[in-house]
Amino acid sequence: MTRCCIILGDQLSADLSALQTLEPRDVVLMAEVWSEATYVNHHKQKIALIFSAMRHFRDALRQSGRTVHYVTLDDPDNTQDLTTELERMQAVHEFSGWVLTEPGEWRLKVAFESLANRADYPIEILEDTRFFASHARFSSFLSGRKQPRMEHFYRAMRKETGLLMDGAEPAGGQWNFDHDNRKKFTGGALPAPMTWPEDAITTEVKSLVNRRFANHFGTLESWFWPVTREQALEALQYFIAERLPFFGDFQDALVAEEDTLFHSLLSTSMHLGLLSPREVCVAAEMAYRDGQAPINAVEGFIRQILGWREYVRGLYWAYMPEYKERNGLKADWPLPEFFWDESQTDMRCIQEAVRNTREHAYAHHIQRLMVTGNFALISGCRVGDVTDWYLAVYADAFEWVELPNTLGMALFADGGLMGSKPYCASGKYIDRMSDYCKGCVYSVKAVDTEDACPMNYLYWDFLATHREAFANNPRMAMVLKNLDRMDPEKLSRVRMLATDFKARVNATGSDRQSKAQGALL
Ligand code: FAD
Ligand code: DLZ
């Protein structure tokens, strides 16, 4: 009567719902499989992080006395797919039944449900309880709301969890301190990301990844990812002490060659299950209560986890699979080559965001939203290309969190479900929040000349293209008024520059003018 529990690469939590149901005699299956490692061109660090964390979790389970069948990628018997590995193990061991916690991605949930329906042995799929809001709780939030908004959900979650509450009132007297969190960083010492000596497991996994995934995006040289719960707890403590006090002030800042600023780098640890979101929020709140971090920092940080992280997951499960097909702005321009190779662009902001991404499998939120995301939005990049890119290149990218952020927040392709207006901006915004423009060959002050920052003419071209679609959106009224006031000849020059830019990129893969002209001769 032995049962088996299959644990996936992002389910590395001792309190996982499926693990909780096991008797001491029951066993665990974990498998490194080609299908999961290649369904998009995952960054090398993402694959290495998941394999290393899985192997460490296997060892922790074994130390606790649990029998674990662990299938490595190179195992000659490996069928290289999670559901077929389950079937293979069942044929060998004839378990009395299986249990798993629901996968975090739609495609995999469907695959396991379909196996459960056709198998002649029981496969039980349990809800993932590692989130604040269950599926039922999120459905009840959505029900009856025409226009769901994160802020309403977040306030309800604050009240329900008691996080950052003084009785019935929000701590600090306000629900949201976002207005205090928009400072430009003008210099000073920045705490380096925490790192640990590399152990034999990570070294072996990196060598496996270099050998088997040599053509995948990114490098393995840098590494600031915890691979065990102990390391993740240290990373949490380090963040709370060194970075959280400044997190709020500089949450939206962009600084050349400063790749992580005051961000926590905790997303991978929470998604893999090494940390629970609750313990992360509680640690942040304690720092506020102890006077170690100001309210604007702590509220801003907790809002990202209790608010945004839960909200995007809720929307994902509520609207999939139809959500993935949305293309509200009919975007269809292929993603430029320079998203994979920053040497192909002269835009310093994109160079910085893509370099960070390639070197670290990381970019902070404003790089993702206001640099690469904004460029993809205003140039009209094809939604599927963009969502595949984001899913591939970040160590923390799992579809439940990546898709609503990309398709909804960055590309405004979901018809306004994630946000009430598109996050579109010209180079002026990037100049205000960063030091990128100073070292850029393009002129951020220019709009309708050859040397103008492409973000400028693409921005006005975007507004002109979608003028009718945005006409009834009160939050777009001001920018549309500015568009309408633009001299028609100037607008026509701007639109021509946007067309030429895209033609140049189509022809050469690059926006570099001299190279493009050379290639066209
Ligand atoms: P911090 O800035 O320190 O924030 C703290 C935590 O808050 C994060 O660890 C994360 O868990 C949570 N958080 C912050 N913003 C969001 C958000 N918008 N949605 C959900 N959780 C949030 N996040 C992912 O985890 N995976 C993704 O694949 C992903 N793709 C994104 C794609 C786009 C286009 C955009 C605009 C954002 C995306 N985000 C994604 C959200 C956010 O950028 C990352 O969570 C964050 O940069 C992770 O770094 P950090 O841990 O240092 O975060
Ligand atoms: C992302 C990933 C990768 C690269 N490899 C594996 C793997 O070999 N085995 C595994 O169990 N899980 C892996 N994962 C994580 C899964 O893709 C993840 O569980 C789903 O995306 C659901 O969130």
Whether residue 454 is contained in a domain is answered as: yes
Query: Cα of 81 to ligand 1 centre, how many Å?
Result: 28
**What are the tens digits of pLDDT across the range 338-353?**
999 999 999 999 999 9
**pLDDT score recorded for residue 146:** 85
Query: Cα of 307 to ligand 1 centre, how many Å?
Result: 11
Whether residue 216 is contained in a domain is answered as: no
Backbone angles phi, psi at 333, to 5 degrees: -85, 130
**What are the tens digits of pLDDT across the range 1-26?**
999 999 999 999 999 999 999 999 99
Whether residue 269 is contained in a domain is answered as: yes
Whether residue 106 is contained in a domain is answered as: yes
> Would the CB of 108 count as within 6 Å of ligand 2?
yes
Long-range contacts of 58-64 (CB under 8 A, 24+ apart): 58/30, 59/201, 60/14, 60/228, 60/229, 61/28
Beta carbons of 247 and 301 less than 8 angstroms apart: yes
Whether residue 263 is contained in a domain is answered as: yes
**What are the tens digits of pLDDT across the range 290-327?**
999 999 999 999 999 999 999 999 999 999 999 999 99
Residue ID of nearest Cα to ligand 2 atom 10: 9
Best mutation site among 40, 279, 405, 417 for ligand 1 pocket (most ligand atoms within 8 Å of CB): 405
For the domain that residue 112 is a member of, what is the CATH number? 3.40.50.620
The answer to whether residues 9 and 63 belong to one domain is yes
Per-chain mean pLDDT for the chain: 96
* H-only helix segments in 361-476: 365-366, 374-379, 383-393, 399-403, 427-433, 454-465, 467-470
- Domain of 187? 135-191+224-319
Domain termination site, one of 284, 319, 354: 319
Is residue 519 very low, low, confident or very high in pLDDT (cuts 50, 70, 90)?
very low
Mean pLDDT of all residues in 66-94 = 98
The answer to whether residues 311 and 349 belong to one domain is no
Instruction: Quote the percentage of the chain above a pLDDT of 90.
Output: 93
Query: Cα of 356 to ligand 1 centre, how many Å?
Result: 15
Q: Which two tokens stand for residue 456?
A: 């400028």
Is residue 514 very low, low, confident or very high in pLDDT (cuts 50, 70, 90)?
low
**pLDDT score recorded for residue 356:** 98
The answer to whether residues 59 and 183 belong to one domain is no
Residue ID of nearest Cα to ligand 1 atom 11: 267
DSSP state for residue 336 in the 8-state scheme? P
Q: CA-to-CA distance for 1 and 109, rounded, in angstroms?
A: 26
The answer to whether residues 49 and 67 belong to one domain is yes
- With a cut of 90, say whether residue 439 has pLDDT above it: no
Mean pLDDT of all residues in 380-393 = 98
Ligand 1 atom, smallest distance to 406 CA: 34
For the domain that residue 393 is a member of, what is the CATH number? 1.10.579.10
Q: Which two tokens stand for residue 521?
A: 């001769």
Whether residue 157 is contained in a domain is answered as: yes
Is residue 521 very low, low, confident or very high in pLDDT (cuts 50, 70, 90)?
very low
Domain termination site, one of 260, 291, 319: 319
Is residue 516 very low, low, confident or very high in pLDDT (cuts 50, 70, 90)?
very low
The answer to whether residues 375 and 511 belong to one domain is yes
The answer to whether residues 270 and 314 belong to one domain is yes
- With a cut of 60, say whether residue 515 has pLDDT above it: no
Whether residue 218 is contained in a domain is answered as: no
Q: Angle 97-80-357 (CA atoms, 0-180°, nearest 5)?
A: 115
Whether residue 332 is contained in a domain is answered as: no
**What are the tens digits of pLDDT across the range 146-202?**
889 999 999 999 999 999 999 999 999 999 998 877 788 888 889 999 999 999 999
> Would the CB of 365 count as within 6 Å of ligand 1?
yes
Mean pLDDT of all residues in 408-415 = 97
Ligand 2 atom, smallest distance to 46 CA: 4
- With a cut of 90, say whether residue 112 has pLDDT above it: yes
Residue ID of nearest Cα to ligand 1 atom 40: 402
**pLDDT score recorded for residue 196:** 97
Best mutation site among 271, 311, 365, 400 for ligand 1 pocket (most ligand atoms within 8 Å of CB): 365
**What are the tens digits of pLDDT across the range 201-255?**
999 999 999 999 999 999 999 999 999 999 999 999 999 999 999 999 888 889 9
Enumerate residues 6+ apart whose C-beta is below 8 A from 362.
224, 259, 260, 265, 356, 394, 395, 396
Give counts: helices (H), strands (E), the chain.
25, 7
Domain termination site, one of 287, 319, 351: 319
The answer to whether residues 385 and 293 belong to one domain is no
Query: Cα of 267 to ligand 1 centre, how many Å?
Result: 7
Worst-scoring range by mean pLDDT, 67-76, 255-264, 311-320?
255-264
Q: CA-to-CA distance for 444 and 424, rounded, in angstroms?
A: 16
Overall number of domains in the chain: 3
Parallel, antiparallel or unpaired: strands 67-71 and 27-31 = parallel
> Would the CB of 31 count as within 6 Å of ligand 2?
yes
The answer to whether residues 115 and 236 belong to one domain is no
Is residue 518 very low, low, confident or very high in pLDDT (cuts 50, 70, 90)?
very low
The answer to whether residues 300 and 179 belong to one domain is yes
* H-only helix segments in 239-276: 244-247, 267-272
The answer to whether residues 289 and 153 belong to one domain is yes
Ligand 1 atom, smallest distance to 369 CA: 36
Residue ID of nearest Cα to ligand 1 atom 20: 309
Residue 404 exposed, middle or buried by CB count within 10 Å (0-12, 13-18, 19+):
buried
Query: Cα of 8 to ligand 2 centre, how many Å?
Result: 6
- With a cut of 90, say whether residue 487 has pLDDT above it: yes
Kindly identify the ligand whose nearest atom is closest to the C-alpha of 402. 1
Best mutation site among 8, 43, 390, 394 for ligand 2 pocket (most ligand atoms within 8 Å of CB): 8
The answer to whether residues 308 and 376 belong to one domain is no
> Would the CB of 49 count as within 6 Å of ligand 1?
no
The answer to whether residues 473 and 412 belong to one domain is yes
> Would the CB of 243 count as within 6 Å of ligand 1?
no
